[in-house]
């Protein structure tokens, strides 16, 4: 039996590069996004981040709807609405019980939790909102998107650290292949610009400490990289079977040709030093897509700007490819949105394929001598792209890779 082809018919983005897919991609290609001091983080060990500019959820969603949501749910609904509209789908006129929603996040949303626990510790338990438990859970963005769009098919929240967004996309692909749904709304949403994330990740020595120069703190593959910079955002891809999109006379943005996952089973935080698990996931994605390493024209790297992580990924790429294709590291412009990062970067990879353009990596002033990669830096690069790979690797050794093609 021939396996059905899965295509991307819609893209939605809310990122530090802008609100909307077009705004995000144009800003990334111009290389204009930098981290900045963050008022929300004032007084913390690390006080800068990448924030979504001019996010006004009350205008986008209405005051009542946005008021019941935490920020990661607000961004998820905004991105999902854009993706569904981009796909030419009408929630008033689709088979709602055949529409799945699958979104990733690394964990619960912490802003409301932190405020409520503070109120309780200060002797004011009555100030703890009865809604916090519901709106802060990992499943909240999934529930809000399903409610907003009236999607009554499979509804799943994935929490596999920084690989969660790509895992949601991969699972959506499998649900379509199996016939469990006809439309899969997939991706991830997270706001990591929080007191809890900063305190915990700073103690884990995962964050860059360049408070004197936040705009150049995130330095993937650079010899002077010293840690990740927190960000936020949402990325949503609408997936359908190719024949269903054709029946609607929709031209796909890209084909989701394959995906692969693995686990390092090495350490609860550190990556396997040689990137063996990452390589395994990349090889699995290529096998699923029926492609050879030489067929890949561009890699969107996970590249978090951590000393160990970037080197491990470079080792994996070096073993997989005889000649590594052009690589970019979008976290240099977007920061690390944790569970949403993979979904955002996969959405940008789809746009790169459509526009035949690779956005640049910023702050790569002195490439690590141990990292022998062709990194697109400083400015965008026009390229003939037919197949692109998006890597996503998370704490705990979670690895998920997706491959997009133009046919």
Burial readout 258-283 (b: 16 or more C-beta within 10 A, e: otherwise): bbbbbbbebeeeebbeebbbbbbbbb
DSSP letter string over 51-120? --TT--HHHHH-HHHHHTS-HHHHHHHHHHHHHHHHTT--GGGS-GGGEEEEEE-SS---HHHHHHHHHH
Does residue 162 have an active-site annotation?
yes
Residue carrying structure tokens 């359908």: 240
Judge residue 198's burial from the number of C-beta atoms within 10 Å of its C-beta, 0-12 exposed, 13-18 middle, 19 or more buried: buried
Does residue 315 have an active-site annotation?
no
Residue carrying structure tokens 């010899």: 223
Cβ-Cβ contacts under 8 Å for 112 (sequence gap 6 or more): 70, 129, 132, 135, 136
Cβ-Cβ contacts under 8 Å for 312 (sequence gap 6 or more): 271, 272, 273, 274, 275, 278
Does residue 336 have an active-site annotation?
yes
Q: Which of the residues 259, 302, 315, 398 is marked catalytic?
A: 302
Q: Which of the residues 162, 173, 181, 242 is marked catalytic?
A: 162
What is the number of residues in the chain? 407
Q: Which of the residues 259, 315, 336, 398 is marked catalytic?
A: 336
Cβ atoms of 299 and 324 closer than 8 Å: yes
Token pair, residue 118, equals: 């503070």
Positions marked active-site: 162, 302, 336
């Amino acid at each position: 039996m021939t396996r059905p082809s899965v295509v991307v018919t819609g893209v939605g983005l809310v990122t530090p590069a802008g609100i909307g897919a077009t705004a995000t991609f144009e800003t990334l290609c111009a290389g204009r996004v930098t981290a900045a001091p963050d008022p929300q983080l004032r007084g913390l060990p690390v006080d800068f981040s990448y924030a979504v500019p001019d996010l006004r959820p009350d205008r986008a969603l209405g005051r009542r709807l946005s008021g019941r949501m935490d920020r990661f749910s607000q961004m998820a609904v905004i991105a999902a609405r854009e993706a569904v509209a981009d796909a030419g789908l009408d929630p008033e006129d689709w088979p709602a019980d055949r529409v799945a929603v699958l979104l990733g996040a690394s964990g619960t949303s912490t802003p409301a939790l932190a405020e409520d626990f503070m109120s309780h510790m200060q002797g004011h338990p009555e100030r703890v909102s009865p809604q916090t438990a519901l709106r802060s859970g990992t499943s909240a963005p999934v529930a809000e998107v399903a409610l907003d769009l009236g999607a009554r098919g499979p509804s799943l929240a994935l929490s596999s650290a920084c690989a969660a967004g790509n895992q949601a996309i991969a699972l959506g692909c499998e649900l379509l292949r199996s016939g469990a749904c006809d439309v899969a709304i997939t991706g991830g949403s997270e706001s990591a610009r929080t007191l809890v994330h900063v305190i915990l990740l700073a103690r884990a020595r995962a964050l860059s400490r360049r408070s004197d120069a936040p705009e150049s703190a995130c330095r993937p593959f650079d010899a002077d990289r010293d840690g990740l910079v927190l960000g936020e955002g949402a990325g949503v891809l609408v997936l359908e079977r190719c024949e269903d999109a054709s029946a609607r006379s929709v031209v796909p943005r890209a084909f989701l040709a394959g995906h692969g996952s693995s686990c390092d089973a090495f350490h609860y935080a550190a990556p396997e030093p040689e990137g063996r698990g990452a390589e395994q996931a990349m090889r699995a994605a290529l096998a699923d897509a029926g492609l050879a390493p030489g067929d890949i024209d561009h890699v969107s790297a996970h590249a978090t700007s951590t000393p160990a992580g970037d080197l491990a990924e470079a080792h994996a790429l070096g073993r997989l490819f005889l000649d590594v294709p052009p690589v970019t590291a979008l976290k240099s412009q977007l920061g690390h949105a944790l569970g949403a990062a993979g979904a955002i970067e996969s959405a940008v990879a789809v746009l790169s394929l459509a526009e035949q353009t690779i956005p640049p990596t910023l702050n790569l002033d002195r490439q690590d001598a141990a990292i022998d990669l062709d990194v697109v830096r400083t400015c965008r690069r026009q390229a003939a792209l037919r197949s692109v790979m998006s890597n996503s690797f998370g704490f705990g050794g979670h690895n998920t890779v997706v491959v997009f093609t133009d046919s």
